[in-house]
A = this chain, B = another copy of it.
């Protein structure tokens, strides 16, 4: 397809000319045509109005109809994977294997939500039958289920141009729940965004979804995103990105005359605890896995392990030596954008100069390298420094990690207690370690959304049991997950119907359970 460089309000391209920007090819650090035109604040209003109009019809579509729409999107993405391989590489520097894998993950997620809403049990239908003979007051018949919120604003992520961008997890779960979506494309990959937006618009047409169920807005700055979050017709926000960006949206949403929920996944440092017996028994294996996890995708994952705790001693020294050698042997990698690259390189330089921090290893730059390439870096410090200087625990987005030598169990527990919220926390241990450090697990349960045992935090499964969330500042709402089927509940709310006649009830709540979904009826789970 030919890229047009235009925002879309529903199916209509915005043809007014405004400020333009282009993607930058990070492999060459040069502009990648075509020009993209920034949307205007008036476009935001038009998109929100049209989405609200579309919501009238879209919220009435049943699960099967919405599933058909979602599957059409998934099929459309699958059909253009070859073209995506080219464009994503040009805009984000990701290689073919990664793009194919991420595209597969994207359509898999969309189909998972399609299956979920076709089944229908996600609405948590609950029925408490009435009793007109109850004294002193008759008991009313009450039935509740989850219903969509209304237009959702989704902000594309820089580091997942497919899986957490235009048709990513936020969009898929918002659509699945019955909400129109307005995407603010990430300016780093506008071409990819347009290609995916085109797939969604074609799918909406093919499945007779109302115009305005999807809009796509471009902007290289913050004006459009700000206007979206402040727009009175926008009902919720999905965001994946930096802590600073996410917090800015949280603050905007909280200051609205009518505040709305913001589901911002803002990344974290993902602490790893290497317990004594495991460290002694599996030095080589853990160092190998750690090196791979730290450098995977140039360290540009929100689950990259950025803090590695261990007790000082010969095993820690042996591990440090092993990991140091691996990182020193790691090549540079093209990063997503020049901005991310310079933030990473500047951050790493600053970290290396912090008191009590040593640069244990730096990776290898090859001769004649071009583009914006991240240099793998491994730091070393002590538990005392971590306790003293919170900046050392902050996320550095890139192929970097900090080894922390602790004086022993007590210091490790003290550090754990002082951790802020993280997406993940990882423990390597034997059964004996787990007994000795039971308190550590207890503490980490309060700090992270997912606890990983004898593994590495990168790699996030997409299913029912996953939690990709965690207390602030990992996310804006530690009670939610942005990955997996429960992500759908971020964009829905329960509505209760009291003494409604059968004819006016949604099918999900009718006697006889015509949709054959799981329901909680008079306190019992049943499909009958």
Which residue numbers of A lie inside 8 Å of B, CB to CB?
56, 59-60, 121, 126-128, 137, 139-140, 142-144, 147, 149-150, 250-251, 254-255, 258-261, 420-421, 431, 434, 438, 441-442, 445-446, 448-455, 459, 461, 463-467, 469, 471-473, 476-479, 481, 486, 489, 492-501, 503-504, 518, 520, 523, 525
Beyond A259-B250, A259-B476, A446-B150, whether A496 also contacts B451 by CB under 8 A is yes
| Residues of chain B with a CB closer than 8 A to A147's CB | 445-446
14 contacts between A and B (CB under 8 A): A142-B465, A142-B466, A147-B445, A258-B471, A431-B503, A434-B501, A438-B504, A445-B495, A450-B496, A451-B498, A454-B499, A465-B496, A478-B493, A518-B525
Contacts A137-B459, A451-B498 known; 19 new A-B pairs at CB < 8 A: A56-B442, A59-B442, A121-B525, A126-B465, A128-B466, A142-B466, A250-B254, A250-B259, A251-B254, A254-B259, A258-B471, A434-B504, A449-B493, A450-B495, A452-B499, A464-B520, A479-B489, A479-B492, A479-B494
Which residue of B has the minimal Cβ distance to A468?
Answer: B496
CA distance A60 to B446 in the complex (A): 12
| Residues of chain B with a CB closer than 8 A to A523's CB | 464
Shortest Cβ distance from residue A141 to the other chain B in the assembled complex, whole angstroms: 9
Shortest Cβ distance from residue A366 to the other chain B in the assembled complex, whole angstroms: 27
Beyond A464-B523, A503-B434, whether A498 also contacts B251 by CB under 8 A is no
Question: Cβ of B261 and Cβ of A499 under 8 Å apart?
Answer: no
CA distance A520 to B484 in the complex (A): 13
Question: Cβ of A494 and Cβ of B449 under 8 Å apart?
Answer: yes
Question: Cβ of A455 and Cβ of B499 under 8 Å apart?
Answer: yes
Q: How many copies of this protein are present in the complex? A: 2
CA distance A84 to B525 in the complex (A): 38
CA distance A481 to B144 in the complex (A): 11
Question: Cβ of A60 and Cβ of B442 under 8 Å apart?
Answer: yes
Beyond A150-B446, A434-B504, whether A496 also contacts B472 by CB under 8 A is no
Which residue of B has the minimal Cβ distance to A126?
Answer: B465
Other-chain residue from B469, B473, B497 in contact with A493 (beta carbon distance below 8 A):
B469
Which residue of B has the minimal Cβ distance to A247?
Answer: B259
CA distance A258 to B447 in the complex (A): 13
| Residues of chain B with a CB closer than 8 A to A441's CB | 504
Question: Cβ of A463 and Cβ of B494 under 8 Å apart?
Answer: no
| Residues of chain B with a CB closer than 8 A to A459's CB | 137, 140
CA distance A479 to B148 in the complex (A): 10
CA distance A194 to B75 in the complex (A): 63
Which residue of B has the minimal Cβ distance to A500?
Answer: B453
| Residues of chain B with a CB closer than 8 A to A59's CB | 442
Question: Cβ of A461 and Cβ of B142 under 8 Å apart?
Answer: yes
Which residue of B has the minimal Cβ distance to A430?
Answer: B501
Shortest Cβ distance from residue A445 to the other chain B in the assembled complex, whole angstroms: 5
CA distance A469 to B139 in the complex (A): 20
Question: Cβ of B142 and Cβ of A497 under 8 Å apart?
Answer: no
CA distance A459 to B134 in the complex (A): 14
Question: Cβ of B126 and Cβ of A464 under 8 Å apart?
Answer: yes
Question: Cβ of A494 and Cβ of B469 under 8 Å apart?
Answer: yes
| Residues of chain B with a CB closer than 8 A to A503's CB | 431, 434
Shortest Cβ distance from residue A177 to the other chain B in the assembled complex, whole angstroms: 11
Beyond A451-B497, A459-B137, A504-B434, whether A464 also contacts B128 by CB under 8 A is yes
Which residue of B has the minimal Cβ distance to A121?
Answer: B525
Choose among A250, A463, A477, A489 the residue with the greatest number of B CB atoms under 10 Å from its CB.
A463
CA distance A149 to B446 in the complex (A): 7
CA distance A442 to B61 in the complex (A): 13
Which residue of B has the minimal Cβ distance to A55?
Answer: B446
Question: Cβ of B254 and Cβ of A143 under 8 Å apart?
Answer: no
Question: Cβ of B501 and Cβ of A431 under 8 Å apart?
Answer: yes
CA distance A445 to B493 in the complex (A): 10
Other-chain residue from B127, B260, B465, B500 in contact with A144 (beta carbon distance below 8 A):
B465
Shortest Cβ distance from residue A302 to the other chain B in the assembled complex, whole angstroms: 15
